[in-house]
Amino acid sequence: MKRRQFRLAALAFVLGAAWLGALRMPPAVAQSPEQLIDLGTRVHGAFGTYIALGIRIGNDALATLKAKPREVDVTLHSGPKAPCPCLVDGIMIVTAASPGQGTLRVANEPAAEDQIGVVIIRHRRDGQSVRYIVPVSAGPKLFAWNREKSPRERLDAVLQEPAENLFVREISK
């Protein structure tokens, strides 16, 4: 009887571990486009171009700063005319910065009138930072893609568009 109980307990442990493993999210750096879209939809409620832009900015910052997820601190200044924390949801997905960890915040101070938003991403270890300015001029293109394209097409469009049409990047040391 004890042998059977041991086998049942071992089977329960293995199945439980497999079930818990299935619930874990894959590492942010290893996500496929489909996983990014799914996660963006779950986190934000829908997957639009501003989340895709946040993903692009987050990836760019990690590469520029030579950082891994959880090694950065993120601050977003939303534009005064069209507050857009959608950007920060995309950035959060890629960088794993989090309000709960105190490494991601939406600042009270707005961006300038001609900006949709300003994002500052700082490497927590060495202090180097990258500042991204999303100008109001990028808005019409992003809004049109939201109307005309599927979520996957939105992600592809944002990732393939020349950066200078979507944001200005400033690196500081």
pTM: 0.81
pLDDT-derived band at 167, boundaries 50, 70, 90: very high
Single out the residue of 125, 128, 131, 132 nearest to residue 70, CA to CA.
125
Quote the pLDDT of residue 131.
Answer: 98
> What is the domain partition of the chain in residue ranges?
29-172
Query: Does residue 27 carry a pLDDT above 60?
Result: no
In whole angstroms, what is the distance from residue 1 CA to residue 16 CA?
A: 22
Angle of the 151-160 helix axis to the 139-148 helix axis, nearest 10: 150
Query: Does residue 24 carry a pLDDT above 80?
Result: no
Instruction: Give per-residue burial for 39-53: e unless 16+ CB within 10 Å, then b.
Output: bbeeebeebbbbbbb
23 burial level (CB within 10 Å; 0-12, 13-18, 19+): exposed
Query: Does residue 58 carry a pLDDT above 90?
Result: yes
In whole angstroms, what is the distance from residue 46 CA to residue 49 CA?
A: 10
CATH assignment of 29-172? 3.30.1330.130
pLDDT-derived band at 2, boundaries 50, 70, 90: low
